[in-house]
């Protein structure tokens, strides 16, 4: 078929061994089919990341017809073992629409604060606020998934007024029932991400309403409430410390940063509990030698205790924004050695809590992840006998950082022929450890 490469028309060809293009001038671009590592399709354009002899290059082709997608998808999956991702065009954030949605958020938040605590009306007003939150949250999703400079143009305007107004509301609104609602958590996460991007670009400013600019009495009152909290040493109730900003590969292009590899990570050796000392002989049984002085007691690790009811509510939880909620249970916040002593398999390489995205609904569910020398398994909870997923050794085609792909920080993807498994960790160290060990233990060897 006739397509365009680097502005020149030519013929595209692909078979079981090679994939390439030949221009009318005689110029050629040929790569082995086995060298294709990634493929993306966008409105008739095909981009292939090829890697041979340690060198990576991108083959960019344009001019395909929509009807060619299915044939290319089938070829790349069956011959190259690569999934052809169809990239959807990103909608631009409409500033006027966001401003209107933000005003509705402020008005709904005022109604929540004006209602008596503990009343049925307050719960109803909070539910109405959550509906308003959805529209603002979707607008923030659009902003975060786009170009950083475009985001800065929208949210750095007027001294960062847009994100400043949003921050002021989420810091001061008095929620009772919906303070842990996934929609609210998602909104906080996106707000934090936008602030982190602005700080990275050097355009962030701490915005405050002022009487001179004739801001509403509601915003002035909220600014006063927040200031009083700061003076009394209180942190804003809704404040969430921003995590790493998710990088959007599609927005940044296929440069070196889009395919950055993870660094080698030192893995902690498995530490087993020490054997208990032999009991001292009891007087009256012929023992006459003085007992040795007891060894100093080992330092105690304080582990939070959670009851069975709390654990059942915690396990198998489902969220829309895994970056705003820890995957690890409260009693997992201990040192690495203690955590390894709680492994459920004696020969496991790594075990721990992660968020895993479901295949159909694309929801994030908490799972106990277990890596053995011969397989990777997920369970609804630690110690459960029936795995929800099993990935045998030799079936993993590749593993890569997928932050930009799913718009979640600390995410990695395990690719098998049938599907992709997306996992989100609680920190970057865990993420790099899982990626390194899964690749070492389960990836196909060419």
Could you read off the pLDDT of 102-111 as tens digits, one per residue? 888 899 999 9
Using a 10 angstrom Cβ sphere, with 0-12 exposed, 13-18 middle and 19 or more buried, the burial of residue 370 is buried
How sure is the predictor about 127, in pLDDT bands with cuts at 50, 70 and 90?
A: very high
For residues 148 and 257, what is the distance between their CA atoms, to the nearest angstrom?
Answer: 15
Every domain of the chain and the residues it spans: 2-86, 95-242, 314-442
pLDDT computed for residue 268 by the predictor? 32
How sure is the predictor about 140, in pLDDT bands with cuts at 50, 70 and 90?
A: confident
Closest CA to 258 of 420, 401, 148: 401
| Tokens read off for 282 | 């009891």
For residues 138 and 117, what is the distance between their CA atoms, to the nearest angstrom?
Answer: 29
Query: Class for domain 314-442, per CATH?
Result: mainly beta
pLDDT computed for residue 222 by the predictor? 85
- φ, ψ of residue 46 to 5 degrees: the values are -120, 130
DSSP string, 116-174: PTT-HHHHHHHHHHHHHHHHHHHHHHHHHHS-HHHHHHHHSHHHHHHHHHHHHHHHH--
Question: How do residues 384-432 score in pLDDT, each as one tens digit?
Answer: 888 999 999 888 999 998 888 888 889 999 999 889 999 999 988 899 9
| Beta strands per DSSP E along 280-395 | 318-319, 350-357, 364-372, 375-379, 389-392
Average pLDDT for 80-98: 74
Question: How do residues 290-304 score in pLDDT, each as one tens digit?
Answer: 444 454 444 443 434
Higher-pLDDT residue of 446 and 408 is 408
How sure is the predictor about 262, in pLDDT bands with cuts at 50, 70 and 90?
A: very low
Examine domains 2-86 and 314-442 and report if their fold is the same: yes
Total Cβ atoms within 10 A of residue 257: 11
For residues 23 and 17, what is the distance between their CA atoms, to the nearest angstrom?
Answer: 20
Question: How do residues 263-320 score in pLDDT, each as one tens digit?
Answer: 333 333 333 334 434 444 433 333 344 444 454 444 443 434 445 555 555 666 888 8
For residues 67 and 374, what is the distance between their CA atoms, to the nearest angstrom?
Answer: 41
Half-sphere exposure in the Cβ direction for 1 (13 Å, CA): 16
pLDDT computed for residue 243 by the predictor? 40
Using a 10 angstrom Cβ sphere, with 0-12 exposed, 13-18 middle and 19 or more buried, the burial of residue 43 is exposed
Query: Hey, is 239 helix, strand or coil?
Result: coil
| Tokens read off for 321 | 């924004």
- Average pLDDT value over all residues in the chain: 77
Query: Class for domain 2-86, per CATH?
Result: mainly beta
Whether 397 contacts 337, CB under 8 Å: no
pLDDT computed for residue 445 by the predictor? 64
Closest CA to 237 of 174, 320, 178, 330: 174
Average pLDDT for 12-39: 90
For residues 187 and 195, what is the distance between their CA atoms, to the nearest angstrom?
Answer: 13
For residues 363 and 361, what is the distance between their CA atoms, to the nearest angstrom?
Answer: 5
Average pLDDT for 54-69: 88
The percentage of residues in the chain with a pLDDT greater than 70, rounded to a whole number, is 73
Higher-pLDDT residue of 381 and 17 is 17
Whether 390 contacts 377, CB under 8 Å: yes
Average pLDDT for 228-237: 60
Max Cα distance, the chain (Å): 103
Query: Hey, is 203 helix, strand or coil?
Result: coil
Total Cβ atoms within 10 A of residue 384: 16
Whether 28 contacts 22, CB under 8 Å: yes
> For 142-174, b where at least 16 C-beta lie within 10 A, e where not — what string?
bbbbbebeebbebbbeeebbbbbbbbbbbbbbe
């Amino acid at each position: 078929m006739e397509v365009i490469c680097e502005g020149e028309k030519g013929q595209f060809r692909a078979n079981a061994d090679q994939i390439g293009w030949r221009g009318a001038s005689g110029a050629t671009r040929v790569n082995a089919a086995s060298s294709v590592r990634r493929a993306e399709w966008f409105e008739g354009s095909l981009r292939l990341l090829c890697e041979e002899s340690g060198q990576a290059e991108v083959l960019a082709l344009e001019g395909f017809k929509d009807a060619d997608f299915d044939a290319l998808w089938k070829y790349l999956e069956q011959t190259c073992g690569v999934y052809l991702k169809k990239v959807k065009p990103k909608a631009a954030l409409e500033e006027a629409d966001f401003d209107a949605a933000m005003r509705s958020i402020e008005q709904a938040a005022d109604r929540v604060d004006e209602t008596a605590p503990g009343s049925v009306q307050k719960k109803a007003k909070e539910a109405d606020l959550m509906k308003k939150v959805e529209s603002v949250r979707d607008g923030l999703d659009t902003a975060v998934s786009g170009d950083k400079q475009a985001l800065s143009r929208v949210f750095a305007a007027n001294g960062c007024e847009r994100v400043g107004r949003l921050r002021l509301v989420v810091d001061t609104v008095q929620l009772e029932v919906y303070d842990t609602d996934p929609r609210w958590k998602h909104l906080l996460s996106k707000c934090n991400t936008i602030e982190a991007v602005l700080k990275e670009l050097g355009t962030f400013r701490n915005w405050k309403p002022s009487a001179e600019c004739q801001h509403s009495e509601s915003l002035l009152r909220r600014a006063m409430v927040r200031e009083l909290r700061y003076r009394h040493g209180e942190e804003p109730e809704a404040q969430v410390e921003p995590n790493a900003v998710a990088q959007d590969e599609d927005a940044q292009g296929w440069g070196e940063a889009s395919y950055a590899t993870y660094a080698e990570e030192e893995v902690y050796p498995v530490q087993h509990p020490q054997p208990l000392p032999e009991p001292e002989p009891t007087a009256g049984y012929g023992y006459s030698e003085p007992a040795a002085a007891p060894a100093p007691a080992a330092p105690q690790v304080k582990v939070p205790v959670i009851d069975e009811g709390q654990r059942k509510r915690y396990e198998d939880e489902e969220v829309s924004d895994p970056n705003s909620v820890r995957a690890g249970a409260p009693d997992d916040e201990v040192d690495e050695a203690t955590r390894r002593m709680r492994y459920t398999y004696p020969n496991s390489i790594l075990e721990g809590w992660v968020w895993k995205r479901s295949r159909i609904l694309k929801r994030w569910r908490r799972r106990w992840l277990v890596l053995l020398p011969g397989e990777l398994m997920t369970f609804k909870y630690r110690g459960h006998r029936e795995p929800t997923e099993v990935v045998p050794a030799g079936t993993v085609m590749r593993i890569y950082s997928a932050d930009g792909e799913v718009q979640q920080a600390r995410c990695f993807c395990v690719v098998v022929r049938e599907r992709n498994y997306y996992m989100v960790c609680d920190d970057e160290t865990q993420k790099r450890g899982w990626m390194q060990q899964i690749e070492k233990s389960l990836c196909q060897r060419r």
